Amino acid sequence: MKDIYRHIMKGFSFYLPFIIIATLLKEISDLFPNHIEFSEFFSFSSYFLFQLIYVVLAGFIAYAIGDKLALLPGLFGGYLAIRYNQGFIAALLLGLLAGYMILVMKYLIKKSPSQIKQTLTIVWMPLLSVILIYATSEVFTLFMPQFSYYYTRFFSGLGPISGAIIASVLVCMMAYDLGGPINKLAYIFAISTISTIGLIEKNILIPAVMIGGMLPTMTIGLYHMIFKHKFEALSHIKGSDVFISGMFFVSEAGLPFYFKFGKKVMIPSMIGSVVSAIIIGYYQVRSFVPHGGILMFWTTSNGLMFLIAIALGLAVSFILMIIMNFKQDNKIQETL
């Protein structure tokens, strides 16, 4: 399972810039409705990049597993996922299948004579893998387009209560292990809900997971700036740098504090993030731009409420961090 996770993250790291820029270009095109040529250029550029996202995802997942030979069937599988509207999950599965298929083929021809092996790897393995990927995609066509449609429609149609609940779960996952497997799982899940049917509907999960990655690091940075003496072991790190990193959704800047102080910073961060998620869900703050941090407020359906959610969540996290550390200090003094 660790290997599969690593391969998926490899492909996702190549896929992420495409989905970020595609969604941003779409937002920019909508800013200029009266400038037709300008708007059409950005809209077409967004559409073009969006046609590549599954190709990149499946191709580089396959490449991570089976090296160069797996790239062709992986790219082909991603193209078929786009061509037949099979969605994010189909592209991911086809990438995994392409990679492991090549590994099996490499194992089967391992003892072949070198003269034959070269022909097999250049011609017959790619040809057979492409045929098998196409056959698998044909099977996916029977149910994946419908599944992808209803999957995306469900999450784009969340109401105030259901939205607040699901957003709260995701932000807890985001704040649990900044940049870790749980964090990345929540982030991938949220992005999968927008890239299934394209740039059609925004949803509340994107701003929620972004805040879930921002708030813990922002809170730690703010606390460090004001109470620097409590972090003597990490005094070489500037609290202002950590805070600014959090603002721009670089959550990994808070990891040294998570490793060093554990629950004293994690629990307040999770609770504050839930407060923000409830606001996002209840007031239906929607977006499909999955990165950029606080600067992306203009891409949300309610930029003011997005900023208010961040401010209130930060305040709650900060106050709880003060309380938890104050209690910890009192326990230490009583022990002494």
Same domain as 180, residue 89: no
pTM: 0.87
Same domain as 79, residue 16: yes
User: Looking at residues 264-271, what average pLDDT do you find?
Assistant: 92
Q: Count CB atoms within 10 A of the CB of residue 247.
A: 16
Boundary (domain end) residue, out of 113, 144, 175: 144
Judged on CB neighbours under 10 Å (0-12, 13-18, 19+), 312 is middle
Q: What is the pLDDT of residue 195?
A: 63
Same domain as 181, residue 69: no
CA 332 to chain centre: 40
The mean-pLDDT minimum among 25-29, 228-232, 310-314 falls in 228-232
Q: Count CB atoms within 10 A of the CB of residue 180.
A: 15
Q: What is the pLDDT of residue 232?
A: 67
Q: Are 5 and 181 in contact (CB under 8 A)?
A: yes
Boundary (domain end) residue, out of 144, 163, 181: 144
What b/e readout covers 109-124, taking b as 16+ CB neighbours within 10 angstroms? eeeeeeeeeeebbeee
Same domain as 264, residue 312: yes
User: Looking at residues 69-79, what average pLDDT do you find?
Assistant: 95
Q: What is the identity of the amino acid at 97?
A: L
Q: Is residue 101 over pLDDT 90?
A: yes
Of the pLDDT bands very low, low, confident and very high (cuts 50, 70, 90), residue 73 is: very high
Same domain as 140, residue 157: no
**pLDDT tens, 189-223?**
998 887 655 555 688 999 999 999 999 999 999 99
Counting residues of the chain whose pLDDT is more than 70, the rounded percentage is 93
Of the pLDDT bands very low, low, confident and very high (cuts 50, 70, 90), residue 334 is: very low
Q: Are 222 and 311 in contact (CB under 8 A)?
A: no
Greatest CA separation for the chain: 78
Same domain as 324, residue 179: yes
Q: Is residue 329 over pLDDT 60?
A: no
| Domain count along the chain | 2
Same domain as 161, residue 139: no
**pLDDT tens, 139-170?**
999 999 888 888 888 887 888 999 999 999 99
Q: Is residue 262 over pLDDT 70?
A: yes
Phi then psi for residue 34, to 5 deg, are -90, -10
Q: Which residues contact 290 (CB under 8 A, 6 or more apart)?
A: 16, 19, 20, 23, 187, 190, 191, 194, 206, 209, 210
The token pair at 87 is 């969605």
Q: Is residue 323 over pLDDT 60?
A: yes
Phi then psi for residue 166, to 5 deg, are -65, -40
Q: Which residue has the higher pLDDT, 250 or 31?
A: 250
Same domain as 199, residue 96: no
Same domain as 212, residue 282: yes
Alpha-carbon gap, residue 150 to 13, rounded angstroms: 26
Q: Are 277 and 168 in contact (CB under 8 A)?
A: yes
Alpha-carbon gap, residue 23 to 21, rounded angstroms: 5
Boundary (domain end) residue, out of 144, 173, 188: 144
The mean-pLDDT minimum among 72-76, 209-213, 274-278, 285-289 falls in 285-289
Same domain as 314, residue 196: yes
Q: Is residue 28 over pLDDT 60?
A: yes
In terms of residue numbers, what domain contains 223? 153-335
User: Looking at residues 83-90, what average pLDDT do you find?
Assistant: 90
